[in-house]
């Protein structure tokens, strides 16, 4: 059953993949976010994580974000920080 206080949606944009994260990112939801990230890095498009709707950010979320850039770079995608312009 899905956690009602967490969602990670993958949106394919022109030349990029956006993962929109909503709700509580904790030990119960981190695997769902990692699955969404892995889905996107299999493509040849740059990855953008939109964390603007995260309401709680636990230690497991920090660990996930610390390992994401290396994995994204190895897959040939790019990791972008908070710039929106």
Residues 9, 40: contact at Cβ < 8 Å? no
Q: Which fold has domain 6-75?
A: Transcription Regulator spoIIAA (3.30.750)
Tell me the CA distances in angstroms from 33 to 14, 56, 82, 85, one per residue in order: 22, 14, 18, 25
pLDDT at 82: 45
Q: Confidence band (pLDDT; 50, 70, 90) for 72? A: low
The tens digit of pLDDT for each residue in 1-51 reads 455 689 999 998 888 888 999 999 999 999 999 999 888 877 677 888 899
Rg (CA), the chain: 12
Instruction: Give the start-to-end residue ranges of the domains of the chain.
Output: 6-75
Over residues 77-84, mean pLDDT: 47
pLDDT at 44: 73
């Amino acid at each position: 059953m899905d956690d009602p206080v967490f969602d990670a949606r993958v949106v394919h944009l022109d030349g990029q993949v956006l993962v929109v994260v909503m709700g509580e990112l904790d030990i119960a939801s981190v695997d769902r976010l990692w699955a969404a990230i892995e889905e996107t890095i299999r493509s040849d498009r740059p990855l953008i994580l939109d964390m603007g709707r995260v309401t709680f950010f636990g230690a497991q979320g920090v660990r996930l974000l610390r390992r994401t850039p290396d994995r994204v770079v190895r897959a040939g995608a790019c990791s972008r920080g908070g710039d929106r312009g």
